[in-house]
């Protein structure tokens, strides 16, 4: 039986015996390719958005803060850190096996945004585990993969989250950090897009 050049999907001819296993194998290959495409497109969207944000800030161009929020952990005055979480070199740091702590930040929107009910989030970190709560509602983890923290050029873990909740003017975001079995962990940035 012939196969396609890409993905090696079956190409039946009249003389070929058709088997269920062949269809299932093709579906598995298609599903794997779609998952990889989703990962690539999501990463591309993140990096285009992050680089666009950095470009706008560098050129002093204002943009609608209700469309995108980006936290690079630069301003300590906007963060509330507890239980051993520190801020250093534009990253949150927690040290000690099984250490746990929190970082909180509050965003004030200019007006109630109906799009603030559905938010997609990307968070880059190395080591440990992070969970995110916004306005008392935990964000749902949707994907994890290796990525590059664009602002720092560090290869690390990128975790994606999704949040659905009531529209609000104030967004209270809490990052719960836990080193687990790692000796230390670092969180590099948080990027939220309103869908």
* The pLDDT of residue 188: 92
74 forms bridges with which residues in the sheet? none
Interacting residues of 190 by C-beta distance below 8 A, sequence separation 6+: 69, 70, 71, 121, 122, 123, 132, 173, 175
* The pLDDT of residue 65: 43
pLDDT digit string, tens, across residues 45-90: 666 666 666 665 666 655 444 456 778 888 778 889 999 999 988 8
Cα separation, 53 vs 189, in Å, equals 13
Identify the residue whose tokens are 């039946």: 12
* The pLDDT of residue 66: 47
* The pLDDT of residue 77: 81
Quick check: 130 pLDDT over 90? yes
């Amino acid at each position: 039986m012939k196969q396609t050049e890409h993905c090696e999907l079956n190409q039946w001819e009249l003389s070929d015996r058709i088997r269920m296993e062949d269809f299932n194998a093709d579906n598995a290959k298609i599903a794997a390719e779609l998952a990889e495409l989703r990962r690539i497109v999501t990463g591309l969207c993140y990096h285009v958005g992050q680089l666009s944000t950095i470009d706008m800030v560098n050129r002093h161009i204002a943009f609608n803060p209700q469309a995108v929020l980006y936290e690079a952990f630069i301003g300590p005055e906007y963060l509330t850190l507890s239980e051993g979480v520190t801020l250093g070199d534009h990253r949150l740091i927690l040290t000690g096996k099984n250490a746990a702590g929190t970082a909180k930040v509050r965003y004030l929107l200019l007006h109630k945004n109906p799009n603030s009910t559905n938010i997609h989030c990307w968070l880059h970190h190395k080591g440990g585990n992070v969970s995110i709560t916004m306005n008392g509602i935990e964000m749902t983890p949707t994907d994890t993969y290796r990525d590059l923290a664009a602002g720092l050029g560090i290869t690390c873990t990128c975790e994606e989250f999704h949040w659905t909740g009531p529209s609000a003017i104030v967004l209270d975001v809490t990052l719960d950090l836990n080193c687990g079995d790692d000796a230390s962990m670092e969180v590099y940035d948080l990027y939220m897009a309103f869908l």
